[in-house]
Structure 1
Amino acid sequence: MANVAIKSERLTPFGGIFPIMEQFTSLLSSTIDSTLGLRCKLYGYQYSEIIRSLLCVYFCGGSCVEDVTAHLMSHLSLHPTLRTCSADTILRAINELARENISYTSDAGKSYDFNTADTLNTLLLNCLLATGQLKEGGEYDVDFDHQFIETEKYDAKPTYKKFLGYRPGVAVIGDMIVGIENSDGNTNVRFHQGDTLKRILGRLEEKKMAVNRFRADCGSCSEDIVDEVRKHCRTFYIRANRCCSLYDDIFALRGWKREEINGIVFELNSILVEKWKGKPYRLIIQRQRRMGSGLDLWEGEYTYRCILTNDYESSMSDIVEFYNMRGGKERIFDDMNNGFGWGRLPKSFMAENTVFLLLTALIRNFYKAIMQRIEVKKFGLKETSRIKTFVFKFISVPAKWIKTARQCVLNIYTDNHAYAEAFKTSSG
């Protein structure tokens, strides 16, 4: 058996978290406090410090807010100047930032709650501008989708997926979340979606950013939603739902063009349709021959998919390929559920949990900024690496703070000299 020597020196296994904390402070603290306002004048924690403390939970491999008090406080408090607050303070701040729900009544007389969290959605954009991930005057492609979050909170409602939860609508640019509005889990995806998109896309315009192309699934294919989207983008691409009145026209089409897209053979065609009276749009029709001998009573020997668009110039294959790329956005939801706490919501009510969704989205956006700023290959990482991989390969390194020549210096116990560059970036 090996001899063991116990050392009482204050070492931490999370040495890589300290440059992250410093970069967060340098890049975002002033933006957060100017947007949300000062939380206290003297010795209390500001919102920037509270969000940084929440960030450390997921950047150190934690899975819930309580981990900051239970496991991380003794390590994070080693930083000579930056303060870390407890889980109780984080949860109190979430309560402070929560805003009342908005209730909408359907034609059937049923009431559904939405939470728009306008200030935090504005903060989300302000932080993306502060890190340079978005720029004023830029043109961007926006994706919109709904994510059903399973949770048994006090006000969670049953979803069509047969579990209790919420149904946030999420807008994405590239790999960054730019807007979230939460709603009851039993709300129809089209119910007041036009109002949600008006607010989300309107905030982009207020920040002097233009929407070039907009993509969404068939949950956005209704007259009022399309009318609203048209006001805010140049071209839109929305999956068209099944419409009985169009099937005779589709079945009668001739001149199908055979294309291979991502290794799969399709036949493509397009027609001009007036899905809603006085509003003609281009319908891109994609069909694929069914495998096996069975025929569908509705569609026959082919499976049909359609894309409604106001793009009359792009080729059919370009439109289909562009639309199909939105499938990669599902990775963002998976990332949020498993790496940034969406699978373990901390509060009992939708208003507070909406705050949590937005704060963790801000943290993930910051993570993407970090992956662009450091030389990821020197740590065995890629820009697309998950947060857990980042914890193992960057954060988990032994370190110790020492004081020398009247300065605090962090000793990193590693043979990877890339850490010196990472600290130089954070201090610069």
Structure 2
Amino acid sequence: MAKVAIKSEKLSPFGGIFPIMEQFDSKLSSVIDSTLGMRCRLYGYQYSEIIRSLMSVYFCGGSCIEDVTTHLMYHLSLHPTLRTCSADTILRAIKELTQDNISYTSDTGKTYDFNTADKLNTLLLNCLLSTGQLKEGEGYDVDFDHQFIEAEKYDAKPTYKKFLGYRPGVAVIGDLIVGIENSDGNTNVRFHQKDTLKRFFERFEQNKLIINRFRADCGSCSEEIVEEIAKHCKTFYIRANRCSSLYNDIFTLRGWKKVELGGIEFELASILIEKWKGKAYRLVIQRQKRIDGELDLWEGEYTYRCILTNDYESSEKEIVEFYNLRGGKERIFDDMNNGFGWNRLPKSFMGENTVFLLLTALIRNFYKFIMARLDVKRFGLKATSRIKAFVFKFISVPAKWVRTSRQYVLNIYSCNNAYADVFQNDFG
């Protein structure tokens, strides 16, 4: 039997978290405190320290806010200068940052609540500009989608997916979340979407971000929404909802072009349509022969899908290929649900949970910043690795703080020399 020697030294199994905390402090703390304001003057925790503590939960493999108190507080507190707060303090701060809901009444007299979280949405963009992930004056492609989050909370409403929850609208640039507005789970996706998008676009423009192309699903295909989108971007690509009035025009089309997309054969064509009076747009039509051979009542032997756009120059194939890239954005929602706590909302009310959604989105954006600077191959990682893999490969390493020559030094107990290079060059 192997002999066991018990050591009482103050070792942490999460040695990789300390340079991450320092990087967060140098890049984001001043931005957070200047945007949200100072929380206290003397000995209390500032918002930057609270968000850094929340970040450490997910960067150390935790799944809920309470993990910082029950499992991580001792290890994180070993850092000689940076403070870590308890779960109770994080939850109090979330309540402090909560903005009141806005209520809209529909034509049928029903009331639906929205939470715009303006200050935190502003913070989200300020942090991305601070880290250089977004740059003033540059053009970007923006995606917009709704994510239904299951949550049996006090004010959660039943969604069309047959569970209680919320329905946040999320704007994405590349792999970064750049805006979130929450709403009741039973709200129609088009209801006041124009106002949500207008707020997003105005924030982008205030920060001198140029929107080149915009993509969205059929939930954005209405006259007022498309009109608002067209004001703020150069070109848009929106999945057109099925409309029986267009089938006659589609069925009489000639000159279909056969193309292969993702190893599947499709036929493409495009026409100019006046979907709304006085407004002509291009409709790119994609059809695929039914595999089962059965005839549909409306579509016959083909399945049709359409994209509404104001891009009159690109080919049909280029437009379809660009729009299909939108499907990769689902990975972001999956990442937020399983890696950053969206499947475990901490509070009972929508406004407070909206704060949590935005803070964890900020943390994920920062994670993407770290992965872009890290030599991932030396740690057995990829640029697209999930947070759990990052915890196992980078964060989970024994470490100890020692004081020598009037300064604190972090001793890493690892045979991987990459830690020394990374800490000294990138994170030091």
TM-score, structure 2 normalization: 0.99
What SS does the aligned partner of 1:145 have? strand
Distance 1:299 1:391 in 2: 50
Percent of aligned pairs with the same residue? 81
User: What is the Cα deviation at residue 294 of structure 1?
Assistant: 1.6
Query: Residue by residue, what CA displacement relative to the aligned partner does 1:52-87 show, whole Å, maximum 9, x if unpaired?
Result: 000000000000000000000000000000000000
Distance 2:210 2:196 in 1: 17
Distance 2:293 2:410 in 1: 68
Q: Which residue of 1 aligns with 2:316?
A: 316
Moved over 2 A (4+): 425-428
Q: Which residue of 1 aligns with 2:260?
A: 260
Q: 2:151·2:345 contact (CA, 8 Å) conserved in 1?
A: yes
User: What is the Cα deviation at residue 126 of structure 1?
Assistant: 0.2
Q: 1:139·1:212 contact (CA, 8 Å) conserved in 2?
A: yes
What SS does the aligned partner of 1:383 have? coil
Distance 1:259 1:405 in 2: 68
After superposition, residues 117-132 of structure 1 pair within 5 angstroms as 117-132=117-132
Distance 2:239 2:261 in 1: 17
Q: Which residue of 1 aligns with 2:382?
A: 382
User: What is the Cα deviation at residue 295 of structure 1?
Assistant: 1.5
User: What is the Cα deviation at residue 422 of structure 1?
Assistant: 2.1
What SS does the aligned partner of 2:12 have? coil
Distance 1:417 1:131 in 2: 27
Is residue 2:238 matched to residue 1:238? yes
User: What is the Cα deviation at residue 3 of structure 1?
Assistant: 1.5
Aligned AA for 2:416?
A: N
Q: Which residue of 1 aligns with 2:290?
A: 290
Distance 2:343 2:138 in 1: 33
Q: Which residue of 2 aligns with 1:333?
A: 333
Distance 1:226 1:33 in 2: 37
Distance 1:294 1:201 in 2: 44
User: What is the Cα deviation at residue 406 of structure 1?
Assistant: 1.1
Distance 1:100 1:353 in 2: 12
Q: Which residue of 1 aligns with 2:137?
A: 137
Q: 2:94·2:356 contact (CA, 8 Å) conserved in 1?
A: yes
Higher mean alpha-carbon deviation, 3-12 vs 164-173, is at 3-12
Query: Residue by residue, what CA displacement relative to the aligned partner does 1:153-174 show, whole Å, maximum 9, x if unpaired?
Result: 0000000000000000000000
Q: 1:237·1:323 contact (CA, 8 Å) conserved in 2?
A: yes
Distance 1:130 1:205 in 2: 17
Q: Which residue of 2 aligns with 1:169?
A: 169
Aligned AA for 1:301?
A: E
Is residue 2:182 matched to residue 1:182? yes
Q: 2:378·2:418 contact (CA, 8 Å) conserved in 1?
A: yes
Query: Residue by residue, what CA displacement relative to the aligned partner does 1:309-336 show, whole Å, maximum 9, x if unpaired?
Result: 0000000000000000000000000000
Aligned AA for 1:202?
A: E
Query: Residue by residue, what CA displacement relative to the aligned partner does 1:397-423 show, whole Å, maximum 9, x if unpaired?
Result: 010111111111110001111111221
Is residue 2:147 matched to residue 1:150? no
What SS does the aligned partner of 1:63 have? coil
Distance 1:60 1:159 in 2: 33
Distance 2:152 2:111 in 1: 20
Is residue 2:7 matched to residue 1:7? yes
Query: Residue by residue, what CA displacement relative to the aligned partner does 1:180-220 show, whole Å, maximum 9, x if unpaired?
Result: 00000000000000000000111000000110000000000
Distance 2:14 2:426 in 1: 16
Q: 2:113·2:184 contact (CA, 8 Å) conserved in 1?
A: yes
Q: Which residue of 2 aligns with 1:62?
A: 62
Distance 1:178 1:344 in 2: 21
Aligned AA for 2:47?
A: Y
Aligned Cα root-mean-square deviation (Å): 0.7
What SS does the aligned partner of 2:260 have? strand
User: What is the Cα deviation at residue 262 of structure 1?
Assistant: 1.4
Q: 1:218·1:240 contact (CA, 8 Å) conserved in 2?
A: yes
Q: Which residue of 1 aligns with 2:40?
A: 40
What SS does the aligned partner of 1:255 have? coil
Q: Which residue of 2 aligns with 1:199?
A: 199
Distance 1:73 1:53 in 2: 9
Q: Which residue of 2 aligns with 1:88?
A: 88
Q: Which residue of 2 aligns with 1:353?
A: 353
Q: 2:20·2:427 contact (CA, 8 Å) conserved in 1?
A: no
Q: 1:143·1:214 contact (CA, 8 Å) conserved in 2?
A: yes
Distance 1:293 1:160 in 2: 31
Q: Which runs of 5+ in 1 are unaligned?
A: none
User: What is the Cα deviation at residue 427 of structure 1?
Assistant: 4.9
Query: Residue by residue, what CA displacement relative to the aligned partner does 1:96-119 show, whole Å, maximum 9, x if unpaired?
Result: 000100000000000000000000
Q: Which residue of 2 aligns with 1:19?
A: 19
Distance 1:57 1:76 in 2: 10
Q: 2:237·2:308 contact (CA, 8 Å) conserved in 1?
A: yes
Distance change >3 Å, CA 4–CA 379, structure 1 → 2: same
What SS does the aligned partner of 1:237 have? strand
Query: Residue by residue, what CA displacement relative to the aligned partner does 1:117-163 show, whole Å, maximum 9, x if unpaired?
Result: 00000000000000000000010000000000001000000000000
User: What is the Cα deviation at residue 4 of structure 1?
Assistant: 1.2
Q: 2:373·2:426 contact (CA, 8 Å) conserved in 1?
A: no
User: What is the Cα deviation at residue 293 of structure 1?
Assistant: 2.5
User: What is the Cα deviation at residue 254 of structure 1?
Assistant: 0.7
Is residue 2:206 matched to residue 1:220? no
Distance change >3 Å, CA 386–CA 219, structure 1 → 2: same
Distance 1:102 1:422 in 2: 46
Distance 1:347 1:274 in 2: 47
User: What is the Cα deviation at residue 296 of structure 1?
Assistant: 1.3
Q: Which residue of 2 aligns with 1:50?
A: 50
User: What is the Cα deviation at residue 426 of structure 1?
Assistant: 5.2
Q: 1:378·1:418 contact (CA, 8 Å) conserved in 2?
A: yes
Q: 1:400·1:412 contact (CA, 8 Å) conserved in 2?
A: yes
